Amino acid sequence: MIFRRLFPVAILLLLACASIASAQDEQSPNPAGAPPKILLLVHQEFKFGKEGERQKLEVAISRAFEHLNVPNDWIDLEALSGPTEALFFDPFNSFEQVGTAFAEWGRIFAAHPELARMQEEIKALVTAERTIIAVRRDDLGYRPQSIDFSKARFMRALEVRLIPGHESDFVEAFKILSAAYEKVNADTPWVVYQVNVGTPSPTFLIFMPLRALKQNDDLLNWRKSIREAEGEDMAHQMEQIAREAYAGTESNLYAISPERSHVSKDFAGGDRDFWSPHRPAAPKALGSKSADSKPKP
């Protein structure tokens, strides 16, 4: 899973801009469920009718990794809107950690060829893939310090692609929006990331973790309250910025799959019933082979 996705990362890291250095300056880890400093995100689309097969492979390989000392975690997000796809949400503390994970996964798969074979089976089902790396913007967002991803069941994701040279307009718009959310005391926070490498134009990503789909109803009510509280001037200002600065936007909703994710014990401790449900025992030894030479879930 991760190894396949880290191959293009080696190239992305060579192209990363000067902002990498500032991201590496902060080495202290985040609390387990807090928004990570660096996100490696992979969008994957699959052959028609093969999603079930892909899911079974991902579950099997995720369970196998529970018995290995792997270098990073990931959260598997399944699209509930937009194209049928998976979004892999891999948190990191620094670009240095991304590079270390790339090297470690190479050694892991060399030592466990049965897992490498399963990765190749998954890869054969993929029809399109896009890998990006994004850096958290601490000057933006709405109460991002209150976010605990371990308690989320769903994720709203907004991608804003900008016309080059209009990054400051985006910053202005989302600072205005954050202040408006504060005025109505909305209780669903969001965090903003700026894409560092992997997209052809300046791009920002906004993630809003949700514990239940009902919170989408709350969002609709808050938007109405914000419009009433701020008046039409703010709405016109936001619309003008969107017309002049945005090359395109896309908003999607995802469901989190704990079975196909791999998270730390500290992270799972935020909601153990969700992340660590009782399930049948995994194979005792990763190195043992069955008659068909494949590990059994």
Tell me the angle at which helices 2-15 and 95-111 cross, rounded to the nearest 10 degrees: 140
Map residue 211 onto helix, strand or coil. Answer: coil
Q: Does residue 211 sit in the same domain as residue 77?
A: no
Residue 113 to residue 117: CA distance in whole angstroms: 6
Number of domains in the chain: 2
- Domain extent at residue 224: 136-251
Q: Does residue 8 sit in the same domain as residue 128?
A: yes
Q: Does residue 115 sit in the same domain as residue 53?
A: yes
Q: What is the pLDDT of residue 216?
A: 87
Residue 7: which of 103, 84, 81, 88 has the closest Cα? 103
CATH number at residue 80: 3.30.70.100
Q: Does residue 144 sit in the same domain as residue 123?
A: no
- Please give the chain's pLDDT, 297 residues, in tens: 454 455 444 445 444 443 444 444 444 456 889 999 999 999 999 999 998 999 999 999 999 998 899 999 999 999 999 888 899 999 999 999 999 999 999 999 999 999 999 999 999 999 999 999 999 999 999 999 999 999 999 999 999 999 999 999 999 999 999 998 998 888 899 999 999 999 999 999 999 999 999 988 888 887 777 777 777 788 888 889 999 999 999 999 999 999 999 999 999 999 999 998 655 554 444 444 443 434 333
Residue 156: which of 191, 182, 180 has the closest Cα? 191
What are the φ and ψ backbone dihedral angles of 182, each rounded to 5 degrees? Answer: -65, -40
pLDDT in tens, 215-258: 888 888 877 777 777 777 888 888 899 999 999 999 999 999 99
Q: Does residue 109 sit in the same domain as residue 176?
A: no
